[in-house]
Amino acid sequence: METALTALVGVRHPIVQTGMGWVAGPRLVTATAEAGALGILASATMTTDALRAAVREVKSRTDAPFGVNLRADAGDARERVRIIVEEGVRVASFALAPSRELIAELKDAGVVVVPSVGARRHAEKVAAWGADAVIVQGGEGGGHTGEVATTVLLPQVVDAVDIPVIAAGGFCDGRGLVAALAYGAAGVAMGTRFLLTSDSPVPDAVKARYLAAGVGDVTVTRAVDGLPHRMLRTEFVASLERAGRLRALTRAVRHASGFRRLSGLTWSRMLRDGVAMRRGHDLTWSQVLLAANVPMLLKAAMVDGRAESGVMASGQVAGVISDLPSCAELVGRVMGEASAILSGLSPTPPLPDAPD
């Protein structure tokens, strides 16, 4: 199936595996790329040395195109851009809108720039700055999310920009891909569906928690970092919501210290990143401090397997997923379903003329 997305990045299928922190490492990205979709490494939870090593590991395992996801507001964003350019990565995606200068630097090096957005005005901005495509996530998507459903947001963005639009939020099968194409998208991006594959590094016990969840078990909370965050509802999440501000801030400081040691960042670098985050999101300092919760709480579940003391970011689509295929099986299934649906769509016969 050829679309503007497959032509732009050189993959066989119009499917993107999103850059999920602690999840989208070399193992998952390689499996996705080998299946013919676009795998994206999540770099926000990696040091720069770990990022370079991860890129080289993927390149040693596959010749297929893949991408790297960056935080545009990170203090070392330019250093990470340099790694992408030096290592010949095909695609750079961004969790936040990158600056005009970062986009130009990447495009000058031949890197395809694909920011993720959650509003039409943000899509218009990055398109005007030269982005090659845009991922549009509706409110059904996991992690930080907005309030507008994909079915409303997607056509808005398709009508507003003249670059390929990739639909995210609520997709897991061939029906969703066909629906996205009908709205005018060039493909779909899926996070939770790729998290729930046999190639995902997430511990089996945590995957089991996802598979057991119903649609109603996926909630949006501000208790983790002060921003709307979609995740599985657990007793731990409920305890975060019950916690007072002082207790929450104390926990945030502890987690910030843990992430600093893990990431190799200095306190001054983390402070600069916090200033950038506060400016970009219009956050209070309390919310910036709470944001330090996220990497370590995600790591507790996604890496350490401690679902009872971590958080599990999730799209609503987790409530309709019931198996753990390999990436090859998943991509093959999605494309098979999509082809069958498209083949079954026949032209509607003309309506008879109305009687006089």
345 exposure class (CB count in 10 Å sphere: 0-12, 13-18, 19+): exposed
Domain co-membership, 143 together with 66: yes
The answer to the question of residue 348 being in a domain is no
pLDDT of residue 241: 83
Residue 355 belongs to a domain: no
Q: Do both 267 and 298 map to the same domain?
A: yes
Note down the domain range covering 121. Answer: 4-204+320-342
Q: Is residue 276 part of a domain?
A: yes
The first and second tokens of residue 40, run together, are 């994206």
Give domain status of residue 353, yes or no.
no
pLDDT of residue 263: 46
Q: In order along the chain (356 residues), what is the average pLDDT of each group of 10 residues?
A: 97 98 97 98 94 98 98 89 98 92 96 97 97 98 95 98 98 98 98 98 98 96 86 90 65 55 52 52 56 79 92 97 98 98 79 62
199 plus 214 within the same structural domain: no
Same domain, 272 and 286: yes
- Are 152 and 169 contacting, i.e. CB atoms less than 8 angstroms apart? no
Q: DSSP string covering 215-250, please?
A: GGGEEEESTTTSS-EEEE--HHHHHHHHS-HHHHHH
Q: How many domains does the chain have?
A: 2
- 57 and 184 belong to one structural domain: yes
Q: 176 and 126 share a domain?
A: yes
Q: Is residue 261 part of a domain?
A: yes
Relative orientation angle of helices 327-344 and 174-183, to the nearest 10 degrees: 60
For residues 202 and 185, give the distance between their C-alpha atoms in angstroms, rounded to a whole number.
Answer: 30
pLDDT at 226: 76
- Clarify whether residues 334 and 262 are in a common domain: no
Q: Show the tokens assigned to 7.
A: 């032509």
Q: How many CB atoms lie within 10 A of CB 247?
A: 12
Q: Each residue of 193-230: pLDDT tens digit?
A: 999 999 999 999 999 999 999 999 999 998 887 789 99
Smallest Cα–Cα separation from 109: which of 95, 127, 90, 128?
90
The amino acid at residue 259 is F
Structure tokens at 218: 């996926």
Closest among 114, 110, 71, 115 to 87, alpha carbons compared: 110
197 shares its domain with 216? no
Could you tell me which residues are beta bridge partners of residue 91?
67, 112
Q: What is the CATH number of the domain that holds 169?
A: 3.20.20.70
Flag whether 336 is in a domain.
Answer: yes
- 65 and 188 together in one domain: yes
Q: Is residue 284 located within the same domain as residue 154?
A: no
Q: Is residue 154 part of a domain?
A: yes
Distance of alpha carbon 350 from the chain centroid? 42
Whole-number pLDDT of residue 272? 53
CA-derived radius of gyration, the chain: 20
Mean pLDDT of the residues in the chain: 89
Q: Over the stretch 275-330, which tens digit does the pLDDT of each residue have?
A: 455 455 555 555 556 566 678 889 989 999 999 988 999 999 999 999 999 999 99
Q: Distance of CA 339 to CAs 143, 177, 193, 246, 281, Å?
A: 30, 10, 19, 54, 41
User: Are 183 and 272 in a shared domain?
Assistant: no
**What tokens appear for 65 in the block?**
């195109």
Phi, psi of 166 (to 5 degrees): -110, 125
- Pair 79, 123 in one domain: yes
Alpha carbon 288 to its chain centroid, in Å, reads: 21
Answer whether residue 55 is part of any domain.
Answer: yes
The structure's pTM equals 0.88
